[in-house]
Amino acid sequence: MIPADASRSSLHFLRRLTPARFDDLPLLGDTGVTQLVPVQALHSMGETMFAVSLAGSLFFNVSLDAARPRIVLYLAVTMAPFLVLAPLIGPFIDRIRGGHRIVLMAALGGRALFALLLATQLKGLLFYPQAFVIMVLAKMFAVSRNSLIPVLVEDRAHLVVVNARIARMAAAAGAVAAAPAVVVLNSAGPEWVLRLGAVIYGVGALLAFRLPPPHPEQNVSPVVEQLELSGPGVRSATIAMGSLRAAIGFLIFHLGFEMKRTGEPAWMFGVLAVAMSLGGFAGTFVAHRLRRIVGEQLTLTAALATPAAVAIITALRFHRVTAVVLAFAIGLGGSVARRTFDSVVQAEAPHARRGKAFAGLEARLELGWAAGALLAVGVSAPGWAGAAALAVALGGISMARMIQHRRANLIESTATESTLALRLLETAEALAARGDRQQAVVVAMAAADVVVPAGSAVTPELANLRELGRVAATDHDEHADEALRLVHQFVADSYPSPIAEPRAS
Amino acid sequence: MLKRVRSVHTVLAITLCAALVVSCGSDPDEAVNPVAETYILVIDWVLAEPQFAIEVEPDELPVVFVESLGPADIELVVQVAVVGHFIDTADIHFIDSRIEALEEIEGAPVRDGGLLVGLGGVAVDGSADVRGEIYRTPESIVGYHFPIDRTGRKPVMTQPPTQVEPEGLVTDQ
């Protein structure tokens, strides 16, 4: 039985790639995940075949100025349906029995088909649209896989580690496929590399069909999903993750164009791809340690700041070597951010993680990648300028996050010495300052309830306040400021020591 | 259930096998664009000329970089048709800037021991001279006027090209 053997050997390989401290995790018990591993490995191997085959493609024969309008057009055209479909992907996957499995199969089967078609068009005009369809199908695979893993993992506590293991496995499988891909490229030509890739994708599609159905999960209300995903922690992590996805999309196309423009040999593109993959591989080890030392949000900031710092050096001295280091840094940052994002979502949005809204969120993250790629192709800046733009963008987001951290720490340190009511008011104030006014009202109302002695009668003032709070927190956001002010006054009146007036939000 | 799995596998396998067969049997693009055919005539002549012979290993193709001498850039469809025509005989690279074709700096020899060919604009129809310049090293740049008759179904070179003073590919160094 090929699938069972493949699963066992892949898992053995996966174990060897995993630090010893995770050996106690019952990954073997997650049968769904073990069957996903060979599918992911085959997808990564096919990815490598596709990337290597591009060395013999039209991209290196035609001038970029002539090709740019078509690249922009095809990038937009192939990504546009994805934009429209992003909110529908989750419900679609959820509605069909085994929806994830079908999407994975379709993505792999589609890639196999288009790889075969592309083999005849590597030097033809249809090269660009077919190559972009293959890229879109890769995005579709990623979205479906990322939303499938949580529903296959039996123990939610292991989700982050399982994700890291699968990412490591993917990187290793991709690296293993590089050698045969290069041999076939040199001996038979790029079209045969694609045909070999198509066979690999085809086998992956067959294995995807044998994936088990997800664990039965209790129905989660869409409201709960949305509330969890719109929490400040998840939102902040999503912005960081989305920024890095956009940066990766930007850098792939920016460096690709720059290498072509400066006449770099095709193998240089391979070196950049390997550097990015190595960064991603290293990130799976770094993320866990960093998270334990500095916490999740600071890890995300570091994941943004590291490529930003390398981009500054690259902008000042754009060269082959600095470009390779930048590719490594962005791969590292992206991987660390992904692991940390998984961890944040697992902790703060456990229901949404397994729900339909998450697939939509994943789809939007992939669109960030496409937006970055479009920007790189459309603007086509010189190498140093692109690196500088990346440094400014990622550095700016890192700085903003640092300021936010300091503010949050300040609030936390002053609040620890106060009573629960005061801490709740501080939190409400911070939420209001961040724009989460309805959540702020709910937290402030809790502060008002805390200062009322247990068992005491509800005064008309408190009853009015509760009603105003209910209205402001549900659908009348315009009453939020008034509710916050009154709660603050109420707590101040009920509290023996004076309380400072709330800052205007 | 088992029957359904088998039927899906069969359909998928047949589809992929059919695509594989089609993929192996297809031919590369044929050049049909008149501008492309004009440029193909010029490049063909250059590749056949002993003075521009490119020495390559038996398993390698001669490398030819092509630059537009203006006034407009060469369209993508033309580039693709030219690349497709020479797919088995030469490795053609259209470039935006000369650094793509030269070793390290402006004024250096062409990369990979190849040639840099500058091609002038082509009139929309009728007979026309097409300017072509060939660069191997900065000291060996030659210019030609190629008399092309494009009144027939396919463009033809009516007589051997005449040598002219190179302009487009000449550098300051």
Is residue A1 predicted with pLDDT exceeding 50? no
pLDDT in tens, B57-109: 888 899 999 999 877 889 999 999 999 999 999 999 999 888 888 876 666 78
Q: Kindly give the pairing relationship between strand B115-119 and strand B128-135.
A: antiparallel
A263 touching chain B per CB within 8 A: yes
In angstroms, the separation between the Cα of residue A445 and the nearest Cα of chain B is 55
Mean pLDDT value of segment B12-17: 54
**Poorest-confidence range of A195-204, A289-298, A325-334?**
A289-298
Residues A159-183, mean pLDDT to the nearest whole number: 87
Question: Chain B within 8 Å of A355 (Cβ-Cβ)?
Answer: no
Residue A411's pLDDT band (boundaries 50, 70, 90)?
Answer: low
Residues in chain A with CB shorter than 8 Å from the CB of B8 are 209
Q: Could you tell me what percent of chain A has a pLDDT over 70?
A: 81
pLDDT band at A166 (very low <50, low <70, confident <90, very high): confident
A263: chain B residues, CB-CB within 8 Å? 95, 99-102, 111
Q: What is the mean pLDDT of residues A147-155?
A: 77
Range list of H helices, A26-158: 31-53, 64-95, 99-119, 127-152
Per the model's pLDDT, the better-predicted residue between A51 and A84 turns out to be A51
Q: Nearest 5°: CA angle at A95, between A91 and A97? A: 140
Question: Which of B1, B2, B7, B12 is the best mutation test for A, with the most CBs of A within 10 A?
Answer: B12
Q: Which of A112, A124, A263 sits opposite B100 (nearest CB)?
A: A263
Report chain A's mean pLDDT, rounded to a whole number: 81
Chain B residue closest in CA terms to A111: B16
Alpha carbon distance A271, A79 (integer Å): 27
User: Residues B108-112: what's their mean pLDDT?
Assistant: 82
Flag if B23 and A116 touch (Cβ within 8 Å).
yes
Tokens representing B12? 């998928």
Kindly indicate the confidence band of residue B173, based on its pLDDT and cuts at 50, 70 and 90.
Answer: very low
| pLDDT band with cut points at 50, 70 and 90 for residue A191 | very high
Q: Give residues 9 to 28 of B whose Cβ lies within 8 Å of A.
A: 9, 12-13, 15-16, 19-20, 22-24, 26, 28
Q: Which residue of B lies nearest to A127 if distances are taken between CA atoms?
A: B80
pLDDT at A372 over 90: yes
Give me the mean pLDDT over the A88-117 stretch.
80
Does the distance separating the beta carbons of A202 and B13 come in below 8 Å?
Answer: yes
Q: Looking at residues A242-260, what average pLDDT do you find?
A: 93
pLDDT at position B18 is 53
pLDDT the model gives residue A265? 83
Q: What is the pLDDT at residue A84?
A: 65
Residues 39-98 of B with CB under 8 A from A: 73-77, 79-80, 83-84, 87, 91-97
- Contacts made by residues B99-107, CB under 8 angstroms, sequence distance 24+: B99/A261, B99/A262, B99/A263, B100/A260, B100/A261, B100/A262, B100/A263, B100/B65, B101/A263, B101/B65, B101/B67, B102/A263, B106/B171, B106/B173, B107/B138, B107/B171, B107/B172, B107/B173
What is the pLDDT at residue A18? 45
User: Do strands B91-94 and B63-68 pair parallel, antiparallel, or not at all (unpaired)?
Assistant: parallel
A18-46 mean pLDDT: 68
Q: Alpha carbon of A355 to those of A140, A223, A362, A418: distances in Å?
A: 17, 11, 12, 38
Alpha carbons A91 and A15: distance in angstroms, whole number: 34
Examine the pLDDT at B10 and tell me if it is beyond 60.
Answer: no
Question: Taking CB atoms and an 8 Å limit, are A206 and B13 in contact across chains?
Answer: yes
The pLDDT score that the predictor gives to residue B106 is 63
- Residue A501 scores a pLDDT above 60: no
Classify the C-alpha dihedral B102-B103-B109-B110 as positive or negative: negative
Tell me the C-alpha distance between A47 and A41, whole Å: 10
Alpha carbon separation from A293 to A153, A185, A286, A290, B67 (Å, rounded)? 26, 45, 11, 5, 56
* Contact call for A195 and B20, based on CB within 8 A: yes
Residue bearing the bigger pLDDT, A50 or A76:
A50
Distance CA A309, CA A154 (A): 39
Q: What is the ipTM of this complex?
A: 0.79
Mean pLDDT of A12-36: 54
Average confidence (pLDDT) over A346-366 = 75
In angstroms, how far is the first alpha carbon of chain A from the final one? 63
Q: What pLDDT was estimated at residue A220?
A: 62
Residue among A35, A42, A49, A120 with most chain B CBs within 10 A, to mutate = A120
Q: What is the pLDDT of residue A469?
A: 82
pLDDT above 70 covers a percentage of chain B that reads 75
Q: How far is A216 from chain B (nearest CA, A)?
A: 20
Radius of gyration of chain A (CA): 25
| pLDDT on residue A186 | 87
Three-class DSSP category at A285: helix
Q: How large is the average pLDDT for residues A155-177? A: 83
Q: Is pLDDT of B151 > 70?
A: yes
Indicate the residue of B26, B80, B101 with minimum beta-carbon distance to A62.
B80
CB contact under 8 A, A195 and B26: no
Q: What is the mean pLDDT of residues A326-347?
A: 91
Say if A64 is an interface residue toward chain B (CB within 8 Å): yes
Q: Which chain B residues contact residue A186 at CB under 8 A?
A: none
Lowest mean pLDDT among A19-28, A386-395, A400-409, B93-102: A19-28
Q: What is the pLDDT of residues A448-471, one digit of tens each?
A: 887 777 677 778 888 888 888 888
Residue A249: pLDDT over 90: yes
Q: Looking at the partner chain, which of A63, A120, A261 has a beta carbon nearest the beta carbon of B23?
A: A120
pLDDT, residue A215, reads 63
CB-defined contacts A:B, below 8 A: 100
Contact A380, A307 (CB under 8 A): no
CB-CB under 8 Å, B100 with A260: yes
CB A494 within 8 A of CB A501: no
Interchain pair A109, B73: CB under 8 A: no
CA distance B29 to chain A (A): 6
Mark out the alpha helices in A318-382 (DSSP H runs): 320-348, 350-353, 356-379
